Amino acid sequence: MSGLVTLHGLGRERLTGILDKAEGYVGRGPSTDFSGATVTNAFFEPSTRTRLSFERAAHRLGAHVMSFSPELSSASKGESFKDTILTLTAIGTDVLIVRHRLADAAALAAGWSARPVINGGVGSREHPTQTLIDALTLRQEFGRLDGLRMAIVGDIRGSRVARGHLIALPTMGVELTLVGPTPFLPQENPWGVRTSTDLDDELGDVDVVYLLRIQAERGSAATIPSIAGYARRYGMNAERLSMMKPTGVVMHPGPMNRGVEIDDSIADGERSLVLRQVANGVPVRMAVITEALEGGR
């Protein structure tokens, strides 16, 4: 594989192969496997977890990291996305990681650059490494993915994380239900998954409640009557947790809006996998960078 623009078309074997490779990196110390290689973070949207865990993953593999910040760069002088990608490639990088508000950004960059491109989250389209991280975290927790039931709750229409999950989690055997107020549910359902506007109805049946932030920067907050009303009907709290199976867990890709989609007691509680998801960002991104560097050689 050279790069990872999308999870579309990756079969179960391929996806499992990436998770196995990532598992092999869990707890592994620094190496010099790719010393001399350069990984570039081309992030045109804000990020904490994704950017820093790609950076740490690259360092753990012995690679150098170049980091591009739009506000400190010539993008702020009007340089186009295309010219920026061509410039970063010409400076010299072995892999480009792209985050951008445009859904096609990673695919476009892959077309312009001779280097492998890894999608670090584009528009509302897809966030492939987040999906792999969540699959690995669930596999560690339950020992399997097959037959697990997950409710994805919240602003699904605005969420690239949800879209990535819809592409790849069913391939690995996870059964998805999309839950939220109608304006947050997708207008079309090419995946043929269950949808529901009533979270309380779903809680008893699922192994995982996967919470999403309201994507205010993509205009989502204006599509519902009120944030407080949303929090009352869909916010994960102690009462709702008690309606889940005793083995049920809560996940969130971050950043969390505490008091809206998740209460403090849940976010910091023992059935939250949130920080394990964050920690798994490093081994998963090590696996994806490794495959990109091997494919690009």
Per-residue string for binding with ligand NCD, 204-233, x by CB under 6 A?
Answer: ---------x--------------------
Pairing of strands 38-43, 208-211: unpaired
* Per-residue CA distances from 42 to 50, 110, 127, 163, 187 (Å): 11, 13, 15, 22, 31
- Smallest gap from residue 137 Cβ to ligand NCD (A): 12
User: Can you read off the two tokens belonging to residue 87?
Assistant: 């410039």
Q: Which is nearer to ligand NCD, 199 or 212 (CB)?
A: 212
Packed helices 274-296 and 128-142: angle between N→C axes, nearest 10 degrees: 120
Among 108, 117, 153, 161, binds ligand NCD (CB under 6 A): 161
Contact present, 206 and 199 (Cβ < 8 Å): no
Among 174, 253, 284, 293, binds ligand NCD (CB under 6 A): 253
Among 116, 121, 248, 283, binds ligand NCD (CB under 6 A): 121
Distance CA 58, CA 94 (A): 11
Among 170, 181, 183, 254, binds ligand NCD (CB under 6 A): 254
Q: Which is nearer to ligand NCD, 50 or 171 (CB)?
A: 50
Question: Is residue 40 within the footprint of ligand NCD (CB under 6 A)?
Answer: no
Contacts of 11 (CB under 8 A, 6+ apart): 171
How far from chain centre, in Å, is Cα 203?
A: 23
Q: Which is nearer to ligand NCD, 34 or 186 (CB)?
A: 186
- Smallest gap from residue 213 Cβ to ligand NCD (A): 4
* Per-residue CA distances from 117 to 39, 169, 230, 268, 288 (Å): 10, 22, 37, 35, 10
Among 6, 40, 50, 280, binds ligand NCD (CB under 6 A): 50
Question: Is residue 130 within the footprint of ligand NCD (CB under 6 A)?
Answer: yes
Q: Which is nearer to ligand NCD, 89 or 134 (CB)?
A: 134
Among 100, 125, 160, 163, binds ligand NCD (CB under 6 A): 160
User: Can you read off the two tokens belonging to residue 15?
Assistant: 């996806």
- Smallest gap from residue 191 Cβ to ligand NCD (A): 19
Question: Is residue 3 within the footprint of ligand NCD (CB under 6 A)?
Answer: no
Number of residues that bind ligand NCD (CB under 6 A): 10
Among 115, 125, 127, 157, binds ligand NCD (CB under 6 A): 127
**Vertex 146 angle, CA 145 and 149, to 5°:** 80
Q: Cis peptide leading into 255, omega within 30 of 0?
A: yes
Give the chain's length.
Answer: 297
- Smallest gap from residue 278 Cβ to ligand NCD (A): 8
Distance CA 67, CA 56 (A): 12
The binding site for ligand NCD (CB under 6 A) comprises 49-50, 121, 127, 130, 160-161, 213, 253-254
